[in-house]
Amino acid sequence: DAKTTQPPSMDCAEGRAANLPCNHSTISGNEYVYWYRQIHSQGPQYIIHGLKNNETNEMASLIITEDRKSSTLILPHATLRDTAVYYCIVINYGGSQGNLIFGKGTKLSVKP
C-alpha cells in the first residue's frame, strides 16, 4: 500500500473550516484514500473515503487532486469536539482483508 505524509499538527479556530492535507504521491490506480479520526481516549472513527472523485458526507468533504497524489479533508465548520488526531490511509481496495496501516496522523486542535 502507498505511504502517506501528513503534518504532525494543525490549529483551527472554532467555526472556521479545517483543511487537513495528505500527500500520497506513490498511490496506484486501484488504491483508495480513507480518513479516520481518533478523539482522545476513544477508538478511531471512520470519516470518509474516495477513489478519484470528490466526496461529501455528513461529517466532512474529501477533495482528491486530479493526479491523485494528494488529498484534503475538509471539516466545513469545525467545533471543539472535532479536536482529534486525523489519519489519512491509502489502501488497495481489493488486496487486503481490511487490515489498515495507521501512520501518526495530524493532531488537529480546534480553539475557541
Partner 1 sequence: DVKVTQSSRYLVKRTGEKVFLECVQDMDHENMFWYRQDPGLGLRLIYFSYDVKMKEKGDIPEGYSVSREKKERFSLILESASTNQTSMYLCASSRAGTGREKLFFGSGTQLSVL
Residues of the shown chain interacting with partner 1 in the complex, contacts defined by CB under 8 A: 32, 34, 36, 41-46, 49, 89, 91, 93, 96-105
Whose Cβ is closer to partner 1: residue 98's or residue 112's?
Answer: 98
**Residue 68, C-alpha cell as written in the block:** 491523485
- The residue among 80 and 100 lying less far from partner 1, judged by its C-beta, is 100
Q: Least distance to partner 1 from the beta carbon of 13, Å?
A: 27
Of 103, 5, 24, 6, nearest in space to 67 by CA: 24
Annotate 14-32 with DSSP letters as a single string.
TTS-EEEEEE-TT--TTEE
Nearer to partner 1, 45 or 77 (CB): 45
Minimum distance between the CB of residue 2 and partner 1, rounded to whole angstroms?
Answer: 14
Contact 84, 38 (CB under 8 A): yes
- Looking at the Cβ atoms of 89 and 108, the one nearer to partner 1 is 89
d(CA 81, CA 103): 22
Q: How far is CA 35 from the centre of its chain?
A: 3
Q: How far is the CB of 4 from partner 1 (least distance, A)?
A: 12
User: Measured from the CB of residue 87, what is the shortest distance to partner 1 in angstroms?
Assistant: 8
